Amino acid sequence: MEKLRIGIAGLGRLGKVHANNIANKIPNAKLVAACSIALPELTYAEKELGVTRTYSDYRKMLQDEDVDAVVVVTTSSEHCWQIAAALDAGKHVFSDKPLGVTLEECKMAQEAVERNPHLTFMLGFMRRSDPSYAYAKEKIDAGAIGTPYMVKATGIDPESAVEGSIRFAKTSGGIFLDMAIHDIDLMRWFLGAEATSVYALGTTFKHLEFKDAGDDETGVAIYQFENGAVGSIHVGRTAPHGYHVETEIIGTEGSIRVSPVPAKNLSVLYNGQGVLTECVENFGTRFDDAYRLEMEEFVDCVLSGRKPGVTVYDGTMSTRIGFATTKAWKTGQIVRI
């Protein structure tokens, strides 16, 4: 069996998830190299994952001939040049979202993809690989809800993680850029159309630190799409019950709700308070399978020559819409996209 030889760049929280999947869970992939500017991350790769070739210089890893593909899980602001450099070095590339933090960067990465059409590029919108989301898309493509004309997307981080969000509030780019990228991608994916305008509001009732940092705890946006469809997004930081990602897709013949109750598992508890379903605690638990499945998809695309469903343009568009949403939120105006 042919195995794709992968080098990973970045072994932070999510990088470790990807690295472990590649090393241990994906039959036709092999984690052969790791790159990080943090020494402990390289030690982790060696000790825990048996990676023998470690690099602190990303460009050096790109020269490694035993590396077929690069998985980029570095800081968002590094994604684009690393994508371009890897492609230009002849490597297939999987990059985690977002594509980039500016539109210029995104365009640069886009051009690198375009000038290397023989190479595979895939962006890590892992929700599309989640079994529940993939099921929704399949049902919709099979006509289960007629023509989709509205998407209501919700993504709320667990209150238990709010300290971290507060800490990064000043540098995160604001709640929409930080949190809504996946929801934006889902709207576009399910509607099969592009947004043309956005209006947005923010609010902060619990953790005023967000306000102090020029951010908001909760954001709501509403989008007009080119084909007449509408979309709405609600992002937040303070779900008490766990990690709440929910998407409703409404069509002419029905609708699908993905995860209205983000159940931890199939058990239900009957106790003195009523009938209770416990919920997933965080994105790791919720999208555990999705991270593995998107990587399987990437590896399979490279090995089979198939094109991934998520393209570089999805990255550019979601970033563009993220910026427009942020502008709408900051100015209180309707923003054309």
Is the previous residue joined to 98 through a cis bond, with omega within 30 degrees of 0? yes
> From residue 161 to residue 200, what is the string marking binding to a second copy with x (rule CB under 8 A)?
--------------------------------------x-
Residues in the chain: 337
* Tokens, residue 333: 């105006």
Q: Is 270 in the site for a second copy (CB under 8 A)?
A: yes
Spatial separation of the C-alpha atoms in residues 194 and 317, rounded to whole Å = 8
Spatial separation of the C-alpha atoms in residues 230 and 115, rounded to whole Å = 34
| Nearest residue (CB) to a second copy, 199 versus 313 | 199
| Nearest residue (CB) to a second copy, 95 versus 247 | 247
Residue 204, CA distances (Å) to 30, 83, 218, 317 in order: 45, 36, 6, 28
Q: How many residues bind a second copy (CB under 8 A)?
A: 76
Helices 13-20 and 39-49 pack at an angle, to 10 degrees, of 20
Q: Within positions 204 to 223, which residues make up the interface with a second copy, using CB under 8 A?
A: 204-206, 218, 220, 222
Q: How far is the CB of 335 from a second copy (least distance, A)?
A: 12
Stretch that binds a second copy, among 16-24, 32-40, 55-63, 114-122 (CB under 8 A): 16-24
Spatial separation of the C-alpha atoms in residues 111 and 231, rounded to whole Å = 29
Spatial separation of the C-alpha atoms in residues 115 and 188, rounded to whole Å = 25
| Nearest residue (CB) to a second copy, 116 versus 154 | 154
Given the structure tokens 């239900």, which residue do they identify? Answer: 268
* Tokens, residue 271: 């106790």
Q: Within positions 46 to 65, which residues make up the interface with a second copy, using CB under 8 A?
A: 48, 50
Q: How far is the CB of 119 from a second copy (least distance, A)?
A: 26
Q: Within positions 274 to 313, which residues make up the interface with a second copy, using CB under 8 A?
A: 274-279
Q: Within positions 94 to 153, which residues make up the interface with a second copy, using CB under 8 A?
A: 131-132, 135-136, 139, 144-147, 149-150, 152
Q: Within positions 228 to 247, which residues make up the interface with a second copy, using CB under 8 A?
A: 228-230, 232, 234, 236, 238-242, 244
